[in-house]
Amino acid sequence: MGGFLKGVNLAPQSGEMSIYAALALVRAGLVLAGLALWAMLRPDLPAGLAPLLAVGGIYAVTLLLFRLFAGYPVPWALTVIVDLAITCAMVWVLGGIVSDSYALFYLVIAGTALLRGGGATLAVTGFTLLAYTATVLLRSPHDPWTLALRLFVLAIFGLLAAFLAAVTRRYQAETLHKEAMLRDLREAHERLERYAAEMARQAITDGLTGLYNHAYLHRRLDEEVRRAERYGLSLSLIMLDLDGFKEYNDTFGHLQGNLVLRQVASILISTVRSVDIVARYGGEEFAIILPGTGHDAALAVAERIRQRVQDARFHAQHGRELTVSAGVAEYPRGALTKQELLELADQGLYRSKRLGKNRVASGTVP
């Protein structure tokens, strides 16, 4: 009883409310159509049929208005009560125990089993048995055996419907639970993939400039040297260092120095090709791997970078010109290993520093 009365709830609960309201509306329409047809074929029907038609019509129209205009979910218990009332009225008007209208009770029970589950089906079956018993005893109490047989069949039907509804609901609940678990697992897997990708990116990226870091530079340089050796390709390396950056940091502070490093990183990225590897080598030092690039082309790239840095307007520059010195080395011209390539590029960088800074020098032996 408690579970049945809990169905009287004016708040929307789920999509099944609208389905049940539509089903109730269809049943009410069928009942009205049947009564109208019966009235045309049997003009001698009792006068009590007119109020019954009026009540049924009001019920159907109310359902339609609620669903179409107000979007108001018709309470499930109300539809069941009206269904039972209409069916009992038909049984009463059409002769009580002799009327076959009681078969509509099966529709009420089946509809409840379809949409509300086993507990509600048992409750509606109990109310149906009480309503039908009261109607028949008040209308035609002289045939208790027929009544008992019909009540027994109705009860068996209700129990079977409740059992099937419970099994179906349990299966649906398990299916929904599995789908929710699969959805959660997919979302967790996607989060883990994004996290792993982010961790992998951070592992090879300098946190300040967004360039590749020192470790990734060495790994890629190993790969590119092996590739150049295997296919007989040229490979160049540019080492760059900001001139007077320590004094700039001491004068304007590390926050302004960080802004300069980010701006220089942006200049480097926008100057080289997408296949080139740009890394922060450490502090204010940068390195660029140029696959498939010869010595002269690498010198030209380094010179473009030097010119762009010189022409740039940095944050808090205050009239002080920031420049960059660069050293260039090529494999296999002068350097036959990764270590020799690094050493020669570093030599070129320090040669630029000794010659007055803000210049590009080659560390490759002619």
Taking alpha carbons only, the member of 262, 136, 151 closest to residue 206 is 262
214, 279 contact by CB (below 8 A): yes
pLDDT on residue 333: 81
The total number of residues shown for the chain amounts to: 366
Find the helix or strand (DSSP H, E) in which 68 lies. none
List the catalytic residue out of 198, 284, 330, 340.
284
- Which pLDDT score, from 0 to 100, does residue 108 have? 81
Identify the pLDDT of residue 24: 57
In the prediction, which pLDDT does 348 show?
Answer: 93
pLDDT at 43: 57
- Going by C-alpha positions, the residue among 326, 281, 329 that lies closest to residue 302 is 326
Which tokens in the block code for residue 42?
A: 């049997």
Q: Is there a cis peptide before residue 291, judged by omega within 30 degrees of 0?
A: no
Q: What is the pLDDT along the chain (366 residues), one digit of tens a residue?
A: 333 333 333 333 444 445 555 655 665 565 566 556 555 655 555 544 554 555 555 555 555 555 555 455 556 677 778 778 878 887 887 778 887 778 878 888 887 887 778 888 898 899 989 988 988 888 876 778 888 998 999 999 999 999 998 888 888 888 888 989 999 999 999 999 999 888 888 888 998 999 999 999 999 999 999 999 999 899 999 999 999 888 888 888 888 889 899 999 999 999 999 999 999 998 899 999 999 999 999 999 999 999 999 988 776 555 567 899 999 999 888 788 899 999 999 999 999 999 999 999 987 554
Q: What is the pLDDT of residue 4?
A: 33
What beta strand segments (E) does 246-296 contain?
Answer: 277-282, 285-291
Q: State the pTM of this model.
A: 0.56
Please state the φ and ψ torsions of residue 288, each to the nearest 5 degrees.
-135, 125
pLDDT of residue 324: 94
User: Which distant-in-sequence residues (6+ apart) come within 8 Å of 140 by Cβ?
Assistant: 95, 96, 97, 98
For the chain, domains (ranges, CATH) are 2-181 (no CATH), 214-362 (3.30.70.270)
pLDDT of residue 7: 35
| Residue 284 annotated as catalytic | yes
How many DSSP H helices and E strands does the chain contain?
12, 5
- C-alpha span between 39 and 101 (Å, rounded): 15
Q: Nearest to residue 151, comparing CAs of 111, 102, 118?
A: 102
Q: What is the pLDDT, as a whole number, of residue 30?
A: 59
